[in-house]
Every structure is written in structure tokens, then in C-alpha cells.
Amino acid sequence: MARETRMLLIVITLSVIVLAVLSQFRFPHTEGGAHEISGATPLPLERLAARATYDELATIIAELGRRVGPQVRVLRVDAAGEQRYVPALRVRPDLLLAHVRGDTRILSIVDTAAPIDVVAFDAERELVLLRVPADASSVVAFQSGSQSAARPRYVAAVEGTPGGPALRPLFLGRTDRIEDEHYEEGLLVLGGVLLASPGSLIFGLDGTLVGLCVIDDGYAAGVTSRSIQSAVDRMLAPAQPGAEPPGGS
């Protein structure tokens, strides 16, 4: 009986030691002796769930690209001796709108052999209109009504690349409206920091145009759909004396 009792105590002691050793791997101690829970490695299922979320977002962005891609062309430009690629939005069946500086020289339209035909240039807002072969099915659907501050959400920035337009997901924590002397409806500050490059186009995941990205006092701001339409109407109005538009190559 005494022998069995000793064996039982040995088994219990060994079990406690093994559990103590295993606990060091799962809950490592800090210098003060407290368990460091916050730095614990995610469990496999947690990592799998996170991966699934990113894969789902990638699928949404890819589908959005198929929808808005035809509405965007890419301009190859020379800005102060530096070659860049700028997205241009089809605002009319035969017109593209892009945000470029006055000293920019438009060299070509990616994947298009058509010559550069500048219709108008708004030096104050740094917007240029180009005439291209008409395609009524690819005109952007402008959002109706006034755009206001929205809840936190994901959007996509459409930027220019040598191969054409590219979409990049962005998270907007908030969009605040600010007054701007160049636009009657003001601008939407996109999250408060520089999230997208100037000239990029911001689309909601539902395919609606959120705005055209410009820089205002160091922040990324969006020119709203209504402001873009108003700017296009002004540029198509009878010509007024002003700055010479950016030239072609």
C-alpha cells in the first residue's frame, strides 16, 4: 500500500512539473514575473480568419477594377523632367479629365494611338480636358446629390501605371468637408493624412466616384462628383483669356 502511494505521488509530481514547463511556452513570463498575454502568437484559426478577410477584400477590389477600369485611362506625362503616369476620368463619351500642373507636358495616352488633343485647361484648379474617341458605355456615373461626411469605410484609389489603371484599397477613418475657394461645394478631407497621390481617383466599393484626389494644405482631399461636373461645364464654356494649356509631345 505504501509503495502504491509513493508511485501515485511521483506521478502527480511529474504531471505538475510537465504542466509548469508547458505553460512557459504558451504564457512566457516578463521580467516582472507577470504573464505577457498581449504578445501571444495568434492561433492557427485566428491567422486563417485574418487571411480569409484579406482575400475577400482582394476579390472585392478585383471586381471593382473590372467595373471602373473602362472609365479610366492613363496619361504618360512629363512633369519638371520627371515622367509620371496620371489617371484620367472619362467624364463625357469623348472627354477625359485629369489633374495635372500647368508645367506638365502630356506625352501620350497608355494603350491608345490617338494624338493628344487638349480641349481646355483650368489653371486655377489644375484640371485638363482631353478629347478621345467616343465611348458612351465607359462614362463615369457621377453620384447624385451632395456628398457629406461618411462613416469609416474602405475605398479604392485608382492610380496610373505604365500598364494602365491600378486599384489600391484604402481605409478612410473619416471624411470631413472643408471650405475651398476653388470649389463651391468645398472638399472632402480623406482621412486627414496623405493616403493617395495627387490626381488619383477615389471610388467606393460600390463603384460610385468619391472624388478626385488633390492636395490641400498638405492633406489629401477629394473633389466631389458635383464639383467635378461643375468644373467640366466651366471648361467647356466659351473660352476666356487665361493660361495656356499643357501641350502634347
Q: Could you tell me the three cell numbers for 209?
A: 466616384
Could you read off the pLDDT of 24-63 as tens digits, one per residue? 655 455 444 444 444 555 555 555 555 657 788 888 889 9
Could you read off the pLDDT of 175-190 as tens digits, one per residue? 777 788 888 777 877 7
Between 176 and 150, the higher pLDDT residue: 176
**Residue 180 DSSP label:** E
Q: Across all residues in the chain, what is the average pLDDT?
A: 79
Residues 203-226, mean pLDDT to the nearest whole number: 83
What ranges do the domains of the chain cover?
66-236
DSSP 61-127: HHHHHHHHGGGEEEEEEEETTEEEEEEEEEEETTEEEEE--TTEEEEEETTB-PPP-EEEEETTTTE
- What CATH architecture does domain 66-236 belong to? Beta Barrel (2.40)
pLDDT, position 225:
85
Residue 135: which of 156, 114, 155, 150 has the closest Cα?
Answer: 114
The CA-based angle 31-33-39, given to 5 degrees, is: 70
DSSP 137-155: GG---PPPS------SEEE
Question: pLDDT category, 71, cuts 50, 70, 90?
Answer: very high
